[in-house]
Amino acid sequence: MSSLQDSVYVIDPLHDPRWPEFVTRHPSASVFHSHGWLRALRETYGYEPVAYTTSAPTDLLTNALLFCIVRSWLTGNRLVSLPFSDHCEPLVDHPGPFETLSAHVERARSEAGWKYVELRSADSQVDFAGRFAPATVYCLHRLDLRSDLDSLYRGFHKDCIQRKIVRAEREGLTYEAGRSDALLQQLYGLLRLTRSRHRLPPQPIEWFRNLVACMGDDACIRIASKAGTPLAGILTLRHRNSMVYKYGGSNARFNNLGGMAMLFWHAIQDAKRTGCEVFDFGRSDLDHPGLIAFKERWSAESSSLITWRAPGTGTVPGRGRISSRYMREMFARMPEHVTLLAGRMLYRHFG
> What are the structural domains, with CATH classification, of the chain?
2-131 (3.40.630.30), 141-304 (3.40.630.30)
Mean pLDDT on 64-81: 95
Q: What region does 240 belong to: left with phi over 0, alpha with psi -120 to 50, or beta?
A: left
293-296-297 Cα angle (round to 5)? 90
Position 351 scores a pLDDT of 81
Q: Which residue has the higher pLDDT, 324 or 84?
A: 84
- Residue 14: pLDDT band with limits 50, 70, 90: very high
Position 94 scores a pLDDT of 87
Phi, psi of 322 (to 5 degrees): -70, -15
Mean pLDDT on 13-41: 97
Mean pLDDT on 126-145: 92
Range from 64-73, 178-187, 281-290, 313-322 carrying the lowest mean pLDDT: 313-322
Position 199 scores a pLDDT of 80
The answer to whether residues 236 and 86 touch, using CB atoms and an 8 Å cutoff, is no
pTM for the model stands at: 0.92
73 CB-contact burial (10 Å; exposed 0-12 / middle 13-18 / buried 19+): exposed
**Is 304's pLDDT higher than 60?**
yes
**Is 3's pLDDT higher than 50?**
no
* Averaged confidence pLDDT in the chain: 91
**Is 4's pLDDT higher than 50?**
no
